[in-house]
Structure 1
Amino acid sequence: MHRAPYASDPAASRGREFNEEREGSRGPRSEFQRDRDRIVHSIAFRRLRSKTQVFIAPDGDHYRTRLTHSIEVAQIGRVLARELGLDEDLTEALCLGHDIGHPPFGHAGEKALEDAMAHAGGYDHNAQGLRTLARLESPYCDHEGLNLTWETLEGLAKHNGPVTAPNWALAEIDRAFALDLSTWPSLEAQVAAIADDIAYDNHDIDDGLRAGFLDLEDLLALDWLAEQWRAVEKRFPHAPRERQLRELVRTQIGLMVNDLLSHTRRQLGGIDSVEGVRGAGRQLAGFSPAMQDQERALKRFMYDRLYYHKEQIDTAERARDVISRLFAAYHQDPTTMPDAWLASLPEQEPERSRHIADFIAGMTDRYAIDQCRRIYGRAPEGLSNV
Structure 2
Amino acid sequence: MTRPLAPWASHPEKSRGRRHEEQSGVRGPRDAFQRDRDRIIHSIAFRRLRHKTQVFLAPDGDHFRVRLTHSLEVAQIGRTIARALDLNEDLTEALCLAHDIGHPPFGHAGEDALKAALKGEGGFDHNGHTLRVLTELERPYPLWDGLNLTWEMLEGLAKHNGPARHPGWALAEVDAGFSLDLGSRASLEAQVAAIADDIAYDNHDIDDGLRAGLLSFDQILDVPVVARGWQAVEARFGGRSKRLTGELIRSQIGAMVNDVITESTRRIAEAGIASADDARAADRALIGFSPAMADDERTLKRFMYANLYHHPRQLAAADAAHGIVDGLFAAYRADPAALPDEWRAALREDEPRRSRHIADFIAGMTDRYAIARYRDVVGAIDLPEGF
Smaller-chain TM-score bracket: over 0.9
**What letter matches 1:376 in structure 2?**
V
**What letter matches 1:318 in structure 2?**
A
**What letter matches 1:102 in structure 2?**
H
The residue aligned with 2:313 is 311
Say if 2:317 and 2:383, in contact at 8 Å, map to a contact too: no
Matches of 2:160 and 2:381, distance apart in 1: 34
Shift of 1:381: 1.8
Determine if the alignment matches structure 1 residue 348 to structure 2 residue 347: no
Q: If the length of structure 1 is used for normalisation, what is the TM-score?
A: 0.98
Say if 2:12 and 2:32, in contact at 8 Å, map to a contact too: yes
Residues 288-299 of structure 1 aligned to structure 2 (within 5 Å): 288-299=290-301
The residue aligned with 2:42 is 41
Gaps of 5+ in 1: none
Task: List per-residue Cα deviations over 1:140-187 (Å, max 9, x = no partner).
Answer: 001110000000000000121001110000000101100000000000
Shift of 1:237: 2.0
Matches of 1:49 and 1:17, distance apart in 2: 29
The residue aligned with 2:257 is 257
Residue of structure 1 aligned with 2:326, choices 324, 327, 330:
324
Shift of 1:275: 1.0
Task: List per-residue Cα deviations over 1:48-105 (Å, max 9, x = no partner).
Answer: 0000000001110000000000000000000001000000000000000000000000
Matches of 2:8 and 2:263, distance apart in 1: 16
Matches of 1:159 and 1:368, distance apart in 2: 29
Please identify, of 58-67 and 222-231, the stretch whose mean Cα deviation from structure 2 is larger: 222-231
The residue aligned with 2:337 is 335
Matches of 1:142 and 1:255, distance apart in 2: 47
Matches of 2:319 and 2:26, distance apart in 1: 49
Matches of 1:224 and 1:111, distance apart in 2: 31
Shift of 1:224: 2.2
**What letter matches 1:225 in structure 2?**
V
Say if 2:225 and 2:300, in contact at 8 Å, map to a contact too: no
The residue aligned with 1:222 is 223
The residue aligned with 1:134 is 135
Q: Secondary structure at the match of 2:347?
A: coil
The residue aligned with 2:268 is 268
Determine if the alignment matches structure 1 residue 279 to structure 2 residue 286: no
Matches of 1:301 and 1:224, distance apart in 2: 11
Say if 1:102 and 1:125, in contact at 8 Å, map to a contact too: yes
Residues 1-386 of structure 1 aligned to structure 2 (within 5 Å): 1-21=3-23, 23-237=24-238, 241-269=241-269, 270-382=272-384, 385=386
Say if 2:138 and 2:147, in contact at 8 Å, map to a contact too: yes
Q: Secondary structure at the match of 2:38?
A: helix
Shift of 1:13: 0.3
Shift of 1:236: 1.3
Matches of 1:149 and 1:219, distance apart in 2: 42
Shift of 1:380: 3.1
Matches of 1:290 and 1:271, distance apart in 2: 24
Matches of 1:180 and 1:353, distance apart in 2: 28
Shift of 1:230: 1.7
Say if 1:108 and 1:316, in contact at 8 Å, map to a contact too: yes
Quote the sequence identity (%): 62
Say if 1:58 and 1:385, in contact at 8 Å, map to a contact too: yes
Aligned length: 383
**What letter matches 1:6 in structure 2?**
W
Matches of 2:60 and 2:341, distance apart in 1: 31
Say if 1:183 and 1:281, in contact at 8 Å, map to a contact too: no
Say if 2:109 and 2:319, in contact at 8 Å, map to a contact too: yes
Matches of 1:99 and 1:380, distance apart in 2: 28
Say if 1:161 and 1:185, in contact at 8 Å, map to a contact too: yes
In the TM superposition, structure 1's runs of 4+ consecutive aligned residues that sit over 2 Å from their partners are: none
Matches of 1:34 and 1:249, distance apart in 2: 33
Matches of 2:59 and 2:82, distance apart in 1: 33
Matches of 1:130 and 1:224, distance apart in 2: 35
Shift of 1:4: 0.3
Matches of 1:224 and 1:98, distance apart in 2: 27
**What letter matches 1:5 in structure 2?**
P
Q: Secondary structure at the match of 1:6?
A: coil
